[in-house]
Chains A and B, each alone.
Chain A
């Protein structure tokens, strides 16, 4: 990691590790691809060995040796406790209320944890057509809680998202309840600079902890809305040696496997 700098770790590494710490050993986590997948597997390889990781391809209790490129890589199935059909995944396991944490990434996010991964611009005439929601719309409403992780940028963290792919807290307050959604929604946002939690009343994401070496100004400069900071602001503990080594080994194995340099190995 060439840009690890003076601290000995990169902002992205800090993000993944801070996200991994939020997961508990008894969590049943519905894992989004990308940053959430890395965090969930670091948790499993460090403090939460018994965590149940579920990918929307139907793999339940999976323990991959490398991070999957897709949500349906073979290794997920080979290491899973069981693999179920996709309708069963969404009906029995997600809609049935078995998921404690839905872990999502975001292309665009607003201050109330609403996520857009569908379009930039108008839906009918998009400036950029993104992949869309996949499993996320129901992960966001059927999981007991939702964690979100993404690197901060003004393009990503915006005043107003272009499309409500996954409903967070809507306009804030009791908006979820008014729509008949009885789950907690986004309760945690982990970025490369900070840890955020929703205000108990307004539900606006508020910075509760800055990562080591990060200033309030940096958080504000990479966020498209006026940032609220908690009165008692913590500093996120720096990654431990074990956390960093685990993450870096995982990423090195993953890179080798995806580039095909690990041919013959289970992929």
Chain B
């Protein structure tokens, strides 16, 4: 049964040291507030899954929380590199991390297979790609009908998935709109799911019948965190803070500056800070 909880409790109840966790959102609706809460609570030895690690995993890796990352694009989208992730991969700082690298197609198929309750995903992929020779989880399978050799990867089944969404109704059903990414699959593939939302509305009675709605019984906990995906964005609520993504490139370039930024903006902060961060990004109604 879904519970409406303050974010602090939702994270404490659903994330544990050593968990395999996905914080998903494909550029849009990235669950930053949930990631920051996880950082404040100081979890260790996590296996972090995310197609595009983005700023939140750069931060979690930089804080030494990750034992392993599973990903398909370890960059700052449109800006360049993720410098804390690089420091971990290249120099083992602040700790060495194991990496399992896929393509987007591989990850997307693996999440879908997880949601579908399958042990693996098969698709036409990785042909001629170097990843197939450095990632032992990329294998192949021959189609019993056509004889075509297809790529196979294990399905993704996180202990817990975190997503951000536009709204929940009072019963705890959740609506995701815009670039819906991999959110639905991430929730349905996971044992537990935590959703942060911009707002709660009375009901979804007037919604178009084919929208992406996650029924309440697929979700463990919902926390209301307006602005909770900043500096990513929430379609219909506020725009992407591209300037913050550009600024992050400088913050993350230096170990000390990174620590100071994390102390001020995350460790000493709370989920309540997010609403103010998106105020200037909200569109004039």
Question: A-side interface residues toward B, CB under 8 Å?
Answer: 33-34, 56-59, 68-74, 76-78, 83-87, 89-91, 94-95, 118, 123-124, 126-138, 141-142, 163-167, 170, 175-176, 179-181, 257-260, 263-264, 266-267
**Does the CB pair B28–A131 fall under 8 Å?**
no
Cα separation A83 to B35 with both chains bound (whole Å)? 26
Residues of B within 8 A of A34 (CB): 78
Cα separation A89 to B28 with both chains bound (whole Å)? 16
Using a Cβ–Cβ cut-off of 8 Å, how many residues does chain B contribute to the interface with A?
62
8 Å CB interface, B97-134 against A: 101, 103-105, 108-109, 111-112, 123-131, 134
Once A128-B90, A129-B90, A180-B127 are accepted as A-B contacts, the answer to whether A136 and B103 lie under 8 Å apart by CB is yes
Question: B-side interface residues toward A, CB under 8 Å?
Answer: 26-28, 51-52, 71-82, 85-86, 89-90, 101, 103-105, 108-109, 111-112, 123-131, 134, 148-149, 178-182, 184-185, 212, 233, 235, 239-243, 245-246, 280-281, 283-284
Residue in A78, A90, A131 whose beta carbon sits within 8 Å of that of B105 in the complex: A90
Cα separation A181 to B127 with both chains bound (whole Å)? 7
**Does the CB pair B180–A58 fall under 8 Å?**
yes
Residues of A within 8 A of B77 (CB): 33, 69-72
Residues of B within 8 A of A70 (CB): 27, 77-78, 240, 242, 245
Q: Which of B71, B75, B81, B233 has the most CB of A within 10 A?
A: B75
**Does the CB pair A68–B127 fall under 8 Å?**
no
CB of B79, distance to nearest CB on chain A (Å): 7
Residues of A within 8 A of B26 (CB): 57-58, 72, 86
**Does the CB pair A260–B129 fall under 8 Å?**
no
**Does the CB pair A86–B235 fall under 8 Å?**
no
Q: Which of A94, A266, A267 has the most CB of B within 10 A?
A: A267
**Does the CB pair A167–B127 fall under 8 Å?**
yes
Cα separation A164 to B134 with both chains bound (whole Å)? 11
